Structure 1
């Protein structure tokens, strides 16, 4: 179990942290995954995080929506096949994704056609 840091220690750490470290810490805090381990291929997982990028395929060919979900510790690629667009799936949006983990090129974590739930109102964030 991770050791609780004192308020002063967290403050001092915040003064020396990079922008990326501060962003990761804020996403980790809101995702409640401070000590989350990287999922293993074949595992069914439940991940809460923020979408960092979203790419929608062109109308020609097989439509797909690909999004990167960052939980503060690692990034999972969410890939919806057969969908050209999904309302609400946009960068910065917080969501919960559930599904079985696969591994893609360069050992990246991929979840195909995950169940998802959008969290909060994007206007409030």
Structure 2
């Protein structure tokens, strides 16, 4: 019984003293893994992946002659940039939304990117 109480207090102390962002990232990574999704830290260029995570940012981009929506996707392990080419806005895609994405990982400027990924909005639970 004493070890159960010790474990409880250890977890409680950790929750009270650790960085909230770190705890949120760990919870998100565990949830993603439980759904059978690939973790962003494990995906490689050229690989077809399915991931579950949260949008950290969403913004319309306009460069010379092209438009697009760019989003920062985070699953608790790493961030990947999602780019929808030729779109000015995508209804439902907002910062903080939880989504499932599927696509082929590429690279742009040394960072992971997925162009025109398939996506599904998920409940925030």
TM superposition score normalised by structure 2: 0.79
Q: Deviations 1:34-65 (Å, cap 9, x if unpaired)? A: x9342110000001000010011259831100
Deviates more, 1:8-17 or 1:95-104: 8-17
Gaps of 5+ in 2: 1-6
1:64 aligns with 2:65: no
Number of the residue aligned with 1:3: none
Q: Which runs of 4+ in 1 moved over 6 A?
A: none
The TM-score normalised by the length of structure 1 is: 0.79
1:114 matched to 2:117: yes
Aligned residues: 116
Question: What is aligned with 2:99?
Answer: 95
Structure 1 residue runs without a partner (length 5+): 1-5
Q: Aligned equivalents of 2:67 and 2:9: distance in 1?
A: 50
| Greater helix proportion | 2
What is the distance in 1 between the residues matched to 2:54 and 2:67? 23
Give the number of the structure whose alpha-carbon radius of gyration is greater: 2
- Structure having the higher strand fraction is 2
